[in-house]
Amino acid sequence: MKPAEKEWTPKILAFLCNWCSYAGADLAGISRMQYPPNIRVVRVPCSGRVNPYFIIKALQRGWDGVLVSGCHPGDCHYISGNLVARRRFAVLKDLLEYLGIESGRLNFSWVSAAEGEKFATVVKEVVEKVKALGPAERLVKR
Amino acid sequence: MVVFQMVWKVIGKNKIPTLIQELNKEYEVFTPVKKENLVFFERVSSGNEAFLDFQNTKKSPKEVFFPQTEILFTYEINKQGVEIEKAPVLKRDIVLLGIRPCDAKGFLLLDKFFSSGEYKDLYYLEKRRNTTIIGLACNRPLSTCFCTSMGGAPFGKEGMDLLLQDINDKYLIETVTERGEKLIKKLPWLKDAENGDIDKVRSLSRNVEKAIKSKVSVEGVSKKLDGMFDNKQWDLIHEKCLGCGVCTYLCPTCCCFDILDEATTKWKRVRIWDSCQFSCFTLQGSGYNPRPSGKERMRQRIMHKFNYFPKNYGENFCVGCGRCVQECPVNFDIREVVEAISTDIWREKDE
Amino acid sequence: MHNVENSIREAAKKLLSEKKVDLIVGYERGTLPLRTTPCFVDKAEDVRKLVWNENCDANLSKYLLSRKENVGVVAKGCDARSIAVCIFEKQIDKEKVVIIGAPCLGLIDKKKVKAKLDGRELLEATIEDEQIRLKGEGFELVFPKKDFICNSCLTCRHRNPPIYDVFTGEKVSEAEVDEFGEIADLEAKPAKERWEHFKEELDKCIRCYACREVCPLCYCKTCFVDQTMPIWFGKTNDLSDTMIYHLVRAFHVAGRCVDCGACSRACPMNINLREVVKKTEKIMKERYDYTAGLSLEKIPPLGEFKIDDSQEFIK
């Protein structure tokens, strides 16, 4: 299980909202679009459900990156969940980066149910970014 | 007890780094270290790190034996059951250099707590038993020091194996125990002290003791507290306390802890410091909290120090180092409380 | 200063004797130099205990939380602002509080004094005009007072309480200062250096929670670090745990923190905690043009949203 023994590939935790991004991921799958297999998906009702603790906890437990994806502004199934979340994430991201966490480890996107291709692109980009950063060290509890 | 020959040695202040260097070969050496403008006890790897010109350290040295976070054991759960791996044992013996008499007395009180009764705390005791304490007498007590009221003294030898006493450019080393003598024998290059030096130290010790102005009348407080559990003053004194853990965490005798399981790459059972001043200290699984407000928690701290502990072990659970007085964010002064109890103001106000 | 002290006493006396309040929360002399301690006065004749000086550093709004009786409270600019936040958040009943506002001239930072004395103990301190006289065993030194003013006071723009019921003394002029100047250097550094900096600072933390307990806005019945079902983050003094504690605490006071500096002053390990929370203030100002504690009506940024909020960080 030691990461050094195998070639390291990043592990990225993705929180996808049920109504848009999860469906977007699904569409990417159905359409047989290729994207790196480094993400593990947690399906959440809304990006507004993503408690900042989830993100911080993921970083503490050694996930190399986090992706949160929800509906585009205005499309939220719950009207404004993603708008509330947006402010929260803005503060959290600014704060984490200020403390010195590499900005590439925290990723946010809006992906609609129709944007299978965008989902694949987002994941590709995130994986590339995290790969460039290497394994997570800061904030990881040993 | 083995009777041993008490010897007096002397060491120049400039030789302290050499001494530490030499001890380092055989022991884990902890000394006061200055960081920015705070002084802490830390493991030193070279003699130059030691800083002995301090009045009192920020944190007490209790964390050498009772670390804030201590892994008790690690374990893995697999199909065969639970596999336990013991925490690493002490590799080398410890030398603590530069312990103030108040903190040394604190160790003796901690010993009572951790070693009496049916169950002994092996984690604490293993470190404690394999430690030689080189004390450092206190030439410049702080205005908040009240060790003399708590049965200590700035030149007190209680709890030490060796005691360094500062006279200008050198320290006089007094052997206090057999363990101390053993250590001294390993340092043949130490010179013998002259009679004049010993006299100097004796008069210095008297003068310093006289210079301690902060006095707390602790006599009889324990007994008086017996009837004071429901005293109305508890409602008032706790009011300004905000319930942080500064006093208990910096205290050389406070030693309450919590044990929890942590999961990272492996399961760990960890012991961490806890404080009676925190509300979740007594919070029960049912949601009931027998000490629901600051009043009960403050009462617990005072009672434990000056009533329960004396009853159980015959001594007050305070050494008068004054750390809690110095560092309390709202200037809650334990001396005032003890004084008020001792002078019967509480009893009168309660009637 | 003295005349402010007198007007505080008079105001307190009036409030108590007219039975407008049952209790006054103010400051009295402490037991150490440069210290005051919170004091609770319920009899008009006891108001002479109240003092007002550069050492009145506790944020007394903490003592108003969940009080049943009517309380008068002595408040500086920052204290009044945190009371305003608590009133907005329904933690303090506006009807039950009488704010005795006082103009603040800046607090003395005991840690700066200690650093200056470098290990020598301070036995007596007097402040006169703009000078501070420090006495101890074998030394007597005079310094300009401004050398020891708290950093939070140096960047303060609201020395006069923005909300109050009674104002004592005369209003002071507000300084035009660079509010976020003190973290600018740090922000300019690369992430790795910032990390190293915070690592070194927060590694000193002993998890005594003094910062949390003195913070007027940390009033949660159960703090996230004390939650056990589930346990979110560890309670050890492991670097990751302490970092996260301070990070999340800062996150929780974002848009609420009034930068009273109580956390930094309370820290026994001399960690400059303001450095962490100050950033949240800046984020709020820059992203949402919001300053906490200036109004009883305005909704703080994390309580609302706009359709066109900044989202440059979202793909």
- A6 within some domain: no
pLDDT in tens, B144-176: 999 999 999 999 999 999 999 999 889 999 999
Question: Out of A94, A100, A122, whose CB is closest to C283?
Answer: A94
The 8-class DSSP code of residue A21 comes to H
* Closest chain A C-alpha to B67 CA, distance in angstroms: 18
Which position has the token pair 């679009």? Answer: A33
pLDDT in tens, C145-160: 999 999 999 999 999 9
- A122 within some domain: yes
**Is C115 in contact with B37 (Cβ distance < 8 A)?**
yes
Neighbours of chain B (3+ CB pairs under 8 A): A, C
Three-state SS across chain B? CCCCCCCEEEEEHHHHHHHHHHHHCCCEEEEEEEECCEEEEEECCCHHHECCCCCCCCCCHHHHCCCCEEEEEEEEEECCEEEEEECCCCCCCEEEEEECHHHHHHHHHHHHHHHCCCCCCHHHHHHHHCEEEEEECCCCCCCCCCHHHHCCCCCCCCCCCEEEEEECCEEEEEECCHHHHHHHHCCCCCEECCHHHHHHHHHHHHHHHHHCCCCCCCCCHHHHHHCCCCCCHHHHHHHHCCCCCHHHHHCCCCCCEEEEEEECCCEEEEEEECCCCCHHHCCCCCCCCCCCCHHHHHHHHHHHHHHHHHHHHCCCCCCCCCHHHHHCCCCCCHHHHHHHHHCCHHHHHHC
Q: C-alpha distances in angstroms, A26 versus A19, A30, A46, A76?
A: 11, 6, 16, 18
All residues of chain C having their beta carbon less than 8 Å from the beta carbon of residue A91 are: 251, 254-255, 280, 283-284, 287, 302
* Closest chain A C-alpha to C257 CA, distance in angstroms: 14
Q: Quick check: B281 contacting C, CB < 8 Å?
A: no
Question: Out of A53, A84, A101, whose CB is closest to C305?
Answer: A84
Q: Dihedral sign, CA of B309, B311, B314, B318?
A: positive
pLDDT at B91: 86
Shared domain check, C225 and C115: no
Which helix (DSSP H) or strand (DSSP E) does residue A39 occupy? strand A39-44
Task: Please check whether residue C54 is in contact with residue C76, taking contact to mean a CB–CB distance below 8 angstroms.
Answer: no
- A2 within some domain: no
Q: Quick check: A133 contacting C, CB < 8 Å?
A: no
pLDDT in tens, C28-47: 999 999 999 999 999 999 99
pLDDT at C150: 95
Closest C-chain CA to A140: C240
* Residue A28 vs residue B263, higher pLDDT: A28
Q: Quick check: C139 contacting A, CB < 8 Å?
A: no
**Is A141 in contact with C240 (Cβ distance < 8 A)?**
yes
CB atoms within 10 A of CB B296: 17
State yes or no: pLDDT of B5 exceeds 80.
no
Q: Quick check: C310 contacting A, CB < 8 Å?
A: yes
State yes or no: pLDDT of B115 exceeds 70.
yes
- A30 within some domain: yes
A/C interface, count of CB pairs below 8 Å: 108
Shared domain check, C126 and C96: no
Structural domain containing residue A43:
12-133
Backbone torsions φ then ψ of B41, nearest 5 degrees: -85, 130
Closest C-chain CA to A91: C283
* Closest chain B C-alpha to A139 CA, distance in angstroms: 13
| Chain A contact probe: residue of B69, B261, B265 with most A CBs at under 10 A | B265
Closest A-chain CA to C230: A53
Task: Please check whether residue B225 is in contact with residue B298, taking contact to mean a CB–CB distance below 8 angstroms.
Answer: no
- A138 within some domain: no
Task: Please check whether residue C250 is in contact with residue C276, taking contact to mean a CB–CB distance below 8 angstroms.
Answer: yes
Q: Two tokens at C159?
A: 């020395």
pLDDT in tens, B271-280: 999 999 999 9
Query: Cα separation of B179 and B175, whole Å?
Result: 9
* Closest chain C C-alpha to B92 CA, distance in angstroms: 24
**Interface predicted TM-score of the whole assembly (ipTM), two decimals:** 0.93
Neighbours of chain A (3+ CB pairs under 8 A): B, C
**Is C235 in contact with B68 (Cβ distance < 8 A)?**
no
Structural domain containing residue C258:
178-315
State yes or no: pLDDT of B347 exceeds 90.
no
State yes or no: pLDDT of C55 exceeds 80.
yes
Shared domain check, C172 and C186: no
Three-state SS across chain C? CHHHHHHHHHHHHHHHHCCCCCEEEEEEECCCCCCEEEEEECCHHHHHHCCCCCCCCCCHHHHHCCCCCCEEEEECHHHHHHHHHHHHCCCCCHHHEEEEECCCCCCECHHHHHHHHCCCCCCEEEEECCEEEEEECCEEEEEEHHHHECHHHHCCCCCCCCCCCEECCCCCCCCCCCCCHHHHHHHHCCHHHHHHHHHHHHCCCCCCCHHHHHCCCCCCCCCHHHCCCCCCCCCCCCHHHHHHHHHHHHHHCCCCCCCCCHHHHHCCCCCCCHHHHHHHHHHHHHHHCCCCCCCCCCCCHHHCCCCCCCCCCEC
All residues of chain C having their beta carbon less than 8 Å from the beta carbon of residue A89 are: 313-314
Q: C-alpha distances in angstroms, A140 versus A58, A124, A135, B277, C299?
A: 9, 24, 10, 30, 35
All residues of chain A having their beta carbon less than 8 Å from the beta carbon of residue B264 are: 61, 141-142
Shared domain check, C130 and C52: no
Residues 6+ apart with CB under 8 A from C306: A83
Burial annotation B130-156 (CB, 10 A radius, 16+ → b, else e): ebbbbbbbbbbbbbbbbbbbbebbbbb
Task: Please check whether residue B330 is in contact with residue C38, taking contact to mean a CB–CB distance below 8 angstroms.
Answer: yes
Task: Please check whether residue C59 is in contact with residue C78, taking contact to mean a CB–CB distance below 8 angstroms.
Answer: yes
pTM of the model: 0.95
Determine the residue type at B120: K
Instruction: Grade residue B349 by pLDDT with cuts at 50, 70 and 90.
Output: confident
Q: Quick check: B211 contacting C, CB < 8 Å?
A: no
Residue A69's CATH number = 3.40.50
Domain count, chain A: 1
All residues of chain B having their beta carbon less than 8 Å from the beta carbon of residue A141 are: 264
pLDDT at A5: 60
All residues of chain A having their beta carbon less than 8 Å from the beta carbon of residue C187 are: 98
pLDDT in tens, C237-258: 999 999 999 999 999 999 999 9
**Is B38 in contact with C209 (Cβ distance < 8 A)?**
no
Closest among B143, B302, B334 to B224, alpha carbons compared? B302
Where is average pLDDT lowest: B57-61, B194-198, C222-226?
B194-198
Question: Out of C115, C210, C228, whose CB is closest to B329?
Answer: C210
All residues of chain C having their beta carbon less than 8 Å from the beta carbon of residue B331 are: 30-32, 35-37
Percent share of chain C, pLDDT over 90: 90
* Closest chain C C-alpha to B163 CA, distance in angstroms: 22
Instruction: Grade residue C215 by pLDDT with cuts at 50, 70 and 90.
Output: very high
Mean pLDDT across chain B = 92
* Closest chain A C-alpha to C313 CA, distance in angstroms: 7
Question: Out of C209, C269, C270, whose CB is closest to B244?
Answer: C209
Shared domain check, C261 and C195: yes
Query: Cα separation of B124 and B120, whole Å?
Result: 9
Task: Please check whether residue C226 is in contact with residue C270, taking contact to mean a CB–CB distance below 8 angstroms.
Answer: no
Task: Please check whether residue C190 is in contact with residue A99, taking contact to mean a CB–CB distance below 8 angstroms.
Answer: no
pLDDT at C1: 56
Question: Out of C198, C224, C238, whose CB is closest to A99?
Answer: C198
User: Count of alpha carbons within 13 Å of B319, Cβ hemisphere only?
Assistant: 27
Closest B-chain CA to C120: B55
CA–CA–CA angle A129, A133, A136 (5° rounding): 115
**Cα C286 to chain centroid, rounded:** 22
Task: Specify which residues B11 forms β-bridges with.
Answer: B171
Shared domain check, C43 and C86: yes
Shared domain check, C166 and C124: no
Question: Out of C191, C287, C305, whose CB is closest to A100?
Answer: C191
Query: Cα separation of B297 and A90, whole Å?
Result: 40
**Is B68 in contact with C266 (Cβ distance < 8 A)?**
no
CA–CA–CA angle B11, B14, B15 (5° rounding): 50
User: Which residue stretches of chain A have pLDDT < 70?
Assistant: 1-5
pLDDT in tens, B89-108: 788 999 999 999 999 999 99
Closest B-chain CA to C216: B242
Domain count, chain C: 3
Percent share of chain C, pLDDT over 70: 99
Query: Cα separation of C167 and C151, whole Å?
Result: 25
State yes or no: pLDDT of C266 exceeds 80.
yes
pLDDT at B40: 92
Shared domain check, C165 and C53: yes
Shared domain check, C170 and C72: yes
Closest A-chain CA to C312: A90
Shared domain check, C190 and C302: yes
pLDDT at C229: 79
Question: Out of C58, C226, C268, whose CB is closest to B246?
Answer: C268
**Is C210 in contact with B246 (Cβ distance < 8 A)?**
yes
Shared domain check, C89 and C65: yes
**Is C37 in contact with B331 (Cβ distance < 8 A)?**
yes
* Closest chain C C-alpha to A20 CA, distance in angstroms: 14
B/C interface, count of CB pairs below 8 Å: 110
Question: Out of B36, B37, B245, whose CB is closest to C209?
Answer: B245
Which position has the token pair 């997570």? Answer: A136
Task: Specify which residues C126 forms β-bridges with.
Answer: C133
First-residue to last-residue Cα distance in chain C = 55
Shared domain check, C66 and C205: no
**Is A52 in contact with C248 (Cβ distance < 8 A)?**
yes
Instruction: Grade residue C2 by pLDDT with cuts at 50, 70 and 90.
Output: low
Mean pLDDT across chain C = 94
pLDDT in tens, C170-185: 999 988 899 899 999 9
- A66 within some domain: yes
